[in-house]
Amino acid sequence: MPAATLLLTRLRSETHTLLADDNQLHDLGVYALIAGLARRRDRPVTSSWEDWEGLRRISLGGNDIGDKGTIALLRDASRQGGELETLMSLGLQHNRIKLRERTAEEIVGYLNASRLIELNFASNPLNPRGIVKFFEGLTAPIQAIDLCDCDLTEAVLGEDGVIAIVQAVERRNFTITTLDLEGNASVEDMGGEFEYLDLWNDTDLGGGALAPQGH
Residue 86's domain is classified under what CATH number? 3.80.10.10
Classified as helix, coil or strand, 17 is strand
d(C-alpha 41, C-alpha 103), whole Å: 29
* pLDDT band, very low/low/confident/very high, at 199 (cuts 50, 70, 90): very low
Tell me the residue range of the domain where 30 lies.
3-202
pLDDT single digits (tens) 140-175: 888 888 888 887 776 677 777 777 777 776 666 556
Q: What confidence score (pLDDT) does residue 46 get?
A: 55
pLDDT at 65: 98
- Are the CB atoms for 73 and 33 separated by under 8 Å? no
Give the model confidence (pLDDT) of 34-65 as tens digits: 998 887 766 555 555 556 678 899 999 999 99
- Cα separation, 116 vs 106, whole angstroms: 15
State the pLDDT at residue 3. 77
209 vs 25, residue with greater confidence: 25
Nearest one of 14, 83, 15, 13 to 49, comparing CA atoms = 13
Quick one: pLDDT at residue 155? 64
Q: Are 128 and 102 in contact (CB under 8 A)?
A: no
Q: Is residue 209 in a domain?
A: no
In a domain, 215, yes or no: no
Whether residue 214 is contained in a domain is answered as no
Identify whether 19 is part of a domain: yes
Whether residue 211 is contained in a domain is answered as no
Beta strands in 60-192 (DSSP E): 89-91, 118-120, 144-146, 178-180
Q: pLDDT at residue 195 above 50?
A: no
How high does pLDDT run on average in the chain? 77
SS3 of 75, please?
helix
Percent of the chain having pLDDT more than 90? Answer: 38
Rounded to an integer, the average pLDDT of 165-187 is 65
Across 118-133, average pLDDT: 92
Q: Is residue 153 one of the residues assigned to a domain?
A: yes
Average pLDDT over residues 170-184: 66
For residues 54 and 73, the model is more confident at 73
Which has the higher per-residue pLDDT, 44 or 207? 44
Name the domain count of the chain: 1
